[in-house]
Amino acid sequence: MRYVLVVVLLILFGYSLAIVLQNSTELSVDLLFTQVPAMRLGLLLLLTLSMGIVLGLLLGVQIFRVFQKSWEIKRLRKDIDYLRKEQIQTAQLAAAEAAANKRHEKTVLDIHSDDRPTGL
Give the model's pLDDT for residue 76: 95
Neighbours of 31 (CB within 10 A): 9
Give strand pairing partners of 39: 27
For the chain, give every domain's residue range: 2-113
What size, in residues, is the chain?
A: 120
Q: Please give the model's pTM, rounded to 2 decimal places.
A: 0.48
Q: What angle do CA 89, 93, 98 make, to 5 degrees?
A: 145
Extract the runs of DSSP E, i.e. beta strands, from 3-56. 26-30, 35-40
Provide the pLDDT for residue 84.
Answer: 95
What is the pLDDT at residue 110? 59
What's the rounded Cα separation, in Å, for the pair 4 and 27? 37
SS3 36: strand
| Rounded Cα–Cα distance for residues 36 and 24 (Å) | 15
Q: Mind listing the pLDDT tens digit of every residue in the chain (120 residues)?
A: 788 888 988 998 888 888 888 888 888 888 788 888 888 888 888 888 888 888 888 888 888 888 889 899 999 999 999 999 999 999 999 999 888 887 766 665 556 555 555 555
